[in-house]
């Protein structure tokens, strides 16, 4: 698997949590995030987060490391 940098449109909810809304893939295609199922903080580094999301009815992982976002691809 390789890390693919992606653009992310995100917003803050009423509780102040940052939630991704859409992902822009490396080829420029934009994919809406249907649902955010959860978010986990890395034990090793509190700046690293993994968002469990649903895109086009398929579960996926979206990662945030500092100010950068990425997804994994084959």
Instruction: Tell me whether residue 53 is exposed, middle or buried, using C-beta atoms within 10 angstroms of its C-beta: 0 to 12, 13 to 18, 19 or more.
Output: buried
Residue 16: per-residue pLDDT: 93
pTM of the predicted structure, to 2 decimals? 0.87
Q: Please check the confidence at residue 74 and state whether its pLDDT lies above 80.
A: no
pLDDT, tens digit, 9 for 90 and up, residues 10-58: 999 999 999 999 999 999 999 999 999 999 998 777 779 999 999 999 9
């Amino acid at each position: 698997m390789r890390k693919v940098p992606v653009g992310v449109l995100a917003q803050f909810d009423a509780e102040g949590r940052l939630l991704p809304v859409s992902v822009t893939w490396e080829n420029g295609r934009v994919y809406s995030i249907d649902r955010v199922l959860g978010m986990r903080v890395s034990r090793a580094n509190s700046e690293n987060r993994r968002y469990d999301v649903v895109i086009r009815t398929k579960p996926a992982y979206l990662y945030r490391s500092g100010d950068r976002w990425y997804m994994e691809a084959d």
